[in-house]
Structure 1
Amino acid sequence: MKIKSQIAMVLNLDKCIGCHTCSVTCKNVWTSRRGLEYAWWNNVETKPGPGYPKTWENQEKYRGGWVRRKDGSTELRLGNRPRVMSQLFSNPYLPQVEDYYEPFTFDFSSLKGKRRMKTPPSARPFSMITGKQMDKVQDGPNWEDDLAGTFDQRKSDPNLHDIDTQGFAEFERTFMLYVPRLCEHCLHPACIPSCSSGAIYKRKDGVVLINQDRCRGWRQCISACPYKKIYFNYKRMKSEKCVFCYPRIEDGQPTVCSETCVGRMRYLGVILYDSEKIDEYAAADERDLVRCQREMILDPNDPEVVVEAERQGISHNYIMAAQKSPVYKLMKEWAIAFPLHPEYRTLPMVWYVPAMSPKVEEVAAEEQKGPADAAAGEMDYFAKVDEMRIPAQYFANLLTAGDPQPIREALAKLVALREYMRRKTVDGDDQPSVPEAIGLTAAQYDDMYRLLAIADYNDRFVIPTDPKQQGSHHFDERTGLGFDDEEENFVEGCKRHNIFGGI
């Protein structure tokens, strides 16, 4: 068992209000410069919808992530090493400008100094790339925000491929949710082996970065990333991506998107995992991927795990943070969070709690059932899940590789939590009944309520300081398609040029 630590994030979709504050603050801090006008390291998509870039989930088009070979191993969907090298100068799987959008601004100066007119003056849109006036703004990073687009546009969402969408075009029956997205900082990232110059690496704290001195702008990483969270800076001719606000993480502070989240729906913490299982679990059967990824996460309170982690050089700060980690509870202990598209086999480390939704039709018989009928009550939670407006199958296609049962179980726990707290606070029942079929105790319900509903700052963000205690440097995984120097020379060169401060 080889124990490693990872900074992970969980997003509670039930609390996202779609305000885009996280996107704007991330944009202002990291990508508000020439060459990245179109890039949003953090964006909030309205689902169902084609997303940003358009239909990024269609891997038949973009060839991102990994595929399972017949011998049980994994291979880049983009192809093996010779094929990747052959596409350096002509890559047919790169998203184009129209797949993102042409960034625009408005000629606000035309509104100043104008003499009074009978009609109000207007500011014309201008392209931020060419500087020329645009006839019409036709697209944006979330053009279907709040169901703005027609259902014909939104149903291009690949997650609807096996769902009967008949009737969803009607406003009374349609559904929507917000899905914030950022780099997944995967345990089995596809971007690293696709980089022909060996510029992408994974630090010991789990953050995946691009060495800007070594990047040659081949852009194979953009195609290989199934989440399309690597962007090409056309001004610098380099690839850039979310850095997980690592200067803040090193100082024990949360990422900018987490800090500014209005809905307080982001959680940050440390998990310990067995890195020897990565190759085995990444090649598991699709329906077993979520279970395998949970099994790979180790219990930080297990004395044997603690002793072994200390022996292998995991700092005491990280072990203590892992024991208090909110993401461990959400991801493994309560099992209500899931990775985004585990079928891409990258073992992502940004997980999501599925959103609850109102029912399409009220069932009067439910209100007549009392808590005394334990068996019926236990089954009732799953019945309520099946009556929700957002189909469980949609969440399954998004979070569990198409298996709806884990989603139903997680939503049933959230429904049971509401019923438990309603009986406790509204009905005045000091010891409300706990459904055995859900698999949680009363103490776990209380902990879940405190974390999901009324958690304060220190509960949501448990981040250890000074990750340098874990080793002499952060370079943990750096694999390219050849052209790699000796690691020590590479590290010394980065220190000499002060690449990614803190190394």
Structure 2
Amino acid sequence: MDVRAQIVMVFNLDKCIGCHTCSISCKNIWTDRKGAEYMWWNNVETKPGVGYPRHWENQERFKGGWVVDGKSLKLKAMGKGPTLLNMFFQPNLPKIEEYYEPFDFDYGNLAGAKAGDDQPTARAFSQISGKPIEEIQGGPNWDDDLSGSQIYAAQDPNLQEKQVIDSYASMFMQYLPRICNHCLNPACAASCPSRAIYKRGEDGIVLVDQEVCKGWRFCTSACPYKKVYFNWDSGKAEKCIFCYPRVEGGQCNACAHSCVGRIRYVGVLLYDADGVEGAALKGDAELVQAHRNLILDPRDPAVRAAAKKNGISERWLDAAEKSPVYTLVKEFGLALPLHPEFRTVPMAYYIPSLSPVLSTWGDTHKLLEHGMIPALETLRVPVGYLASILSGGNREVIEEALKKLIALRVFMRSANLKKESDSAALAEAGLDAAAAKRLYRLFTLASYDERNVIPPQQREEQDPERRKQQGGFGILKKTGRGR
């Protein structure tokens, strides 16, 4: 058992209001410079939709992530031979149009234009070429709130039941915030010929060494989530750094700190690095359970002893015990990985969304026949759609999580109205009253320190050689690309 520590983020999709405050705070801090105009390390997408960059989920087009090759894994994009042949040309890269050509407006013309008969205007111009753009064709959230549009929603590869967007009565929409997943088996690191991308041993954050990066852009192709960007000015790869300067001081990420809906939880997970490759080799329907099996109980004496042997401090072990992430991912099984079938073993998890609760009674509510709180089989967001995004197509995993969320709503509504609660509904979902109250507090009343349990780094306690060794494991050890 090779115990490692990973800093992890969980997103509650039921609470995201799509305000993009997280994206703006990230943009202002990390990518407000030349060459990074189109980089959105944190972005919020409207689902169903094509996402950002457009169609990033279509790995037949972009060849990202890993595929199972017999009893081992291989990069979907290319092996060592094709990597050498394509060193100066990347056939699977998103084009700038699939992001958007970064633009600004010539505001100086409004004040500096010569006197004339016409009102001066601020024309759009490309921040890359400097040339005028006659018609803007895209932006970072171009399809924001257009979930009913046949142009965007119908092209979502997860939407198997196309008829649900054909009528107003069956349309649905949710927001999907995304950052780099800081995966346990990162395809970006394995694909880099320069070995510029590495995974930190002390907290699992995946970073790009700007001094080593040669700008080959294999990492952009290999990342199935398209969260590695190319700085066209510096010629270097850049990506979300999980706000490590903040995290090292025990503060949460800028996106989580600024989140209006308080949908984000940040904490520590302990996992068995020896099992990462085996977990990624599982069939699509088994991947979620394989993810959970990797996560270790921080209260287990054997786990704590192995963790200390690997240099994990007592402070980090205590944080792992109090981690809201462990509660949501492992203990209650509510938070699920984003597209586990890409086999990067992502370390960002999502609590699936529910249909809205009816606020009033009336004849205009079509869902009234199903009660104030809709039943699982009548939810507006199709279970198959959520399964395609969060469980590799495993509907049972999604249904288990949704049953717990629905039972929690029913239980707390009865409690708030001082009615007799239905303990049978909780029991059927695998919960009891104490568990329901814990989850209710975590979802609604939890303070900053309860939602974000981040131990500050004690780098003086870390063995430099051990930190370096801990960066590579699983498939990265075999390829020699771990740091």
Sort the Cα spacing of 1:156 and 1:34 in 2 relative to 1 into closer, same or farther, 3 A.
same
- What per-residue deviation string (whole Å, max 9, x for no partner) do you get for residues 401-420 of structure 1? 11111111111111111111
2:181 to 179, 184, 194: 184
1:233, 1:239 within 8 Å by CA — same for their partners in 2?
A: yes
Cα distance in 1 between the residues matched to 2:411 and 2:101? 49
Q: Which amino acid aligns with 2:304?
A: V
Question: How far apart in 2 are the matches of 1:273 and 1:481?
Answer: 20
Q: 2:352 aligns with which of 351, 354, 361?
A: 354
Matches of 1:480 and 1:37 in 2, distance apart? 35
Structure 2 residue 413 is matched with structure 1 residue 422: yes
Q: Is the 8 A contact 1:420 1:433 kept in 2?
A: no
Native 8 Å contact 2:49 2:155 kept in 1:
yes
Q: Identity percentage over the alignment?
A: 47
CA contact (8 A) 1:199 1:480 kept: no
Deviation at 1:433, TM superposition (A): 5.5
Aligned in 2, Cα 1:426/1:471: closer, same or farther, shift over 3 Å?
farther
Unmatched runs of 5 consecutive residues or more in structure 2: 358-364
- Residue 435 of structure 1: how far off its partner (Å): 2.7
* 8 A Cα contact 1:193 1:480, kept in partner: no
Q: Which residue of 2 aligns with 1:377?
A: none
Deviates more, 1:470-479 or 1:82-91: 470-479
Aligned counterpart, 1:372: none
Deviation string 1:156-190 (CA, Å, 9 cap, x unpaired) is 11111xx2212513333211111011100000111
User: How far does residue 454 in structure 1 lie from its aligned partner after superposition?
Assistant: 1.2
Q: Greater CA deviation, 57-66 or 131-140? A: 131-140
Of residues 371, 396, 405, the one that matches 2:387 is: 396
8 Å contact from structure 2 (residues 190, 481) kept in 1: no
CA distance in 1, matches of 2:328, 2:119: 52
Rounded Cα–Cα distance in structure 2 between residues aligned with 1:483 and 1:58: 28
Partner of residue 457, structure 2: 466
Q: Output the CA distance in 1 between the equivalents of 2:240 and 2:112.
A: 41
Residue 62 (structure 1) aligns with = 62
Take 1:193 and 1:481, find their aligned partners in 2: how far apart are those partners?
10
Looking at structure 2, the residues matched to 115 and 218 of structure 1 have their Cα atoms a distance apart, in angstroms, of 46
In 2: Cα distance, 1:179 partner to 1:29 partner: 21
Counterparts of 1:46-57 in structure 2 under 5 Å? 46-57=46-57
1:47·1:179 contact (CA, 8 Å) conserved in 2?
yes
- The 3 A distance-change label for structure 1 pair 428 and 36 is same
Using structure 1 for the length normalisation, give the TM-score. 0.88
Deviation, structure 1 residue 115: 10
- The answer on whether the counterparts of 2:147 and 2:173 sit within 8 Å (CA) in structure 1 is no
TM-superposed deviation, 1:477: 2.3
How far 1:120 moved relative to its partner? 7.2
Residue 141 of structure 1 and its aligned partner are, at CA, apart by 1.3
Structure 1 counterpart of 2:362? none
DSSP 3-state at the match of 1:56: coil
* Aligned equivalent of 1:477: 471
Partners of 1:104 and 1:172 lie apart in 2 by 38
Report the TM-score when normalising by structure 2: 0.92
Q: 1:264 aligns with which of 255, 258, 262?
A: 262
- In structure 2, relative to structure 1, the CA distance for the partners of 1:119 and 1:396 (3 Å cut) is farther
Q: Report whether the alignment pairs 1:344 with 2:342.
A: yes
**SS of structure 2 residue aligned to 1:158:** coil
Instruction: Check 1:481–1:132 CA distance in 2 against 1; reply closer, same or farther (3 A cut).
Output: farther
How many residues are treated as equivalent by the alignment? 469
Structure-2 change in CA distance of 1:397 and 1:365 (3 Å):
closer
Question: Contact conserved, 1:58 with 1:158, CA < 8 A, in 2?
Answer: yes
> 2: distance between equivalents of 1:477 and 1:211?
13
Alignment counterpart, residue 433 of structure 2, candidates 421, 425, 442: 442
- Residues 79-158 of structure 1 mapped to structure 2, 5 A cutoff: 79-112=78-111, 122-147=121-146, 150-158=149-157
Query: Residues 13-69 of structure 1, C-alpha deviation per residue, up to 9 Å, x if partnerless?
Result: 111110111111111111111111111111110011111111000001111000001
Superposition RMSD on alpha carbons, in Å?
A: 2.4
Residue deviations 1:304-354 (CA, integer Å, cap 9, x gap):
222222233211011000000000011011111100000000000001011
Which digits, 9 at most, give the CA deviation of each residue in 1:69-96, with x for residues without a partner?
12x2111101221122221112210111
CA contact (8 A) 1:198 1:480 kept: no
Please say if residues 41 and 182 of structure 1, whose CA atoms lie closer than 8 Å, have aligned partners that are also in contact: yes
Q: Please give the alpha-carbon distance, in whole angstroms, between the structure 1 residues aligned to 2:305 and 2:82.
A: 44
Q: Is the 8 A contact 2:75 2:222 kept in 1?
A: yes
Match runs of 1:162-181 below 5 Å: 163-181=160-178
Once the two structures are TM-superposed, the CA of residue 125 in structure 1 deviates from its matched residue by 1.4
Question: 3-state SS of the aligned residue for 1:145?
Answer: coil
Q: CA deviation at 1:484?
A: 7.9
| SS of equivalent residue, structure 2 residue 170 | coil
Contact 2:319 2:455 in 1 (8 A): yes
> Which of the numbers 277, 282, 287 marks the counterpart of 1:289?
287
Instruction: Give the whole-Å Cα distance in 2 for the aligned partners of 1:159 and 1:432.
Output: 35
- Counterparts of 2:158 and 2:383, CA distance in 1: 11
Does 2:454 align with 1:455? no
Contiguous gaps of at least 5 residues in structure 1: 368-380, 488-503
Q: Output one character per residue of 1:275-322: Cα deviation in whole Å (capped at 9) or x when no partner.
A: 100111110111100001101100111222222222332110110000
